[in-house]
Amino acid sequence: MSQLTHDELIQIRRHLHQIPELALEEYQTHDYLLEVIKQFDQTYLTIRVPKELPTAVMVRVAGTNPRRTIGYRTDIDALPVTEQTGLPYASQMPGKMHACGHDIHMTVALGLLSYYSEHQPIDNLLFFFQPAEESKNGGKLAYELGLFTGEWCPDEFYGLHDNPELPAGAIGCRMGTLFAGTTEVNVDIQGQGGHAAFPQNAKDAVVAAASLITQAQTIVSRSIDPIQSGVLTLGKLEAGTIRNVIADHARIEGTIRGLTQPMIEKIGQRLQTICDGIATSFEVDVKLELNQGGYWPVENNADLTSHLIAFMQANPKITFIETAPAMTGEDFGFLLAKFPGTMFWLGVEDDAQLHAPTLTPDERAIDRGIEAITQFINYRMQENYLLEE
């Protein structure tokens, strides 16, 4: 197979859209990706399927005169969403959908890889088809399993996320943080149950939970710099069984979101202090569990991002839009904490939002995205030589 054509890219995207799979279950997706990749000219390619992470695919493209390895990551998993688009190529997997557009992400990556299989790059390239972005932090798993070592270690890493609010094919980016980091919050309060008529003989978990929730809302307003952005949302509360029994247990679940890792950690520390105070004042046991995993803030490297933005702005064929930070999470943030790199948006122009069952990305974004990214990578490789000379 030569470089993928427009029609082939659309066919690939629609096939991927029909076979969405959840985190670490992407076996059909994995096999289809391999099937497509193996049809490319293999002269410059080395394909790796890591046994430690069997639904991942890694492809190394050998450069003509490499001075570094440029990494490109795409996520491959889907969401537990029942599709409502009515498309003829809608999901064939009940209760699962590419409602975050990872089918678009994969297709763009395959388009880039097909180009470089025919046009040998100057530098080495590393393509990482990553499982488990939506949950189970596949990027962190890959890093901790040692997949990015030796010749598979990128010197810089890039990745995109589709954005229905931007015009089809537009590139969006910003200096600093693109996506917030996220941390799951679980609080278990264990008190002592009793009859509603005799509260003095009980330790009311509901009252303790209510006070904890109220106090927690002061963390962002009173402990975080108002110029910065942080969120603590406690979205779920379970307690009690019947109206005339004092509950002995309450569970609160929520999320922390912040634009920097120190901010997320500070919110967590303040929440722990409040939990300790609630335990003392209400004479209950309070257990706080914070689970961040690999969902760190997506903090773009200043030097690399300035080059990407300058290139996109200077190219008259590319629509570039400087975007605001988003409070959505993305596990590419963990990899950007380990390797310098940049994440950017690719516009897919749709009325529906990400994760919506009606998301229908504009497929014109695929060719436009491939063209813009290819031009940037080629520029970046040539720029390396100019900078070092």
Active-site positions read 75, 134
Residues 6+ apart with CB under 8 A from 160: 74, 105, 108, 343, 344, 345, 346, 369, 373
Residue 105 in marked binding region: no
Residue 161 in marked binding region: yes
What dihedral do alpha carbons 228, 140, 256, 281 form, nearest 10°?
A: -120
| Residue whose token pair is 């749709």 | 350
Residue 102 in marked binding region: yes
- The helix/strand/coil state of 222 is helix
Residue 230 φ/ψ region, left for φ over 0, alpha for ψ in the -120 to 50 degree band, beta for the rest: beta
DSSP line for 65-92: S-SSEEEEEEE---BS----S--TT---
Residue 183: strand pairing partners: 256
Cβ-based neighbour number of residue 355 at 10 Å = 14
Closest CA to 116 of 79, 69, 173, 171: 69
| Residue whose token pair is 């490297």 | 301
Residue 275 in marked binding region: no
Which helix (H) or strand (E) element contains residue 209?
Answer: helix 205-216
Helices (H) and strands (E) in the chain, counts: 10, 16
Residue 173 in marked binding region: no
Residue 59: strand pairing partners: 47, 127
Beta carbons of 149 and 60 less than 8 angstroms apart: no
Exposed/middle/buried for residue 281 (C-beta within 10 Å: 0-12, 13-18, 19+): exposed
Residue 111: strand pairing partners: none
Annotated binding site for Mn(2+): 100, 102, 134, 161, 355
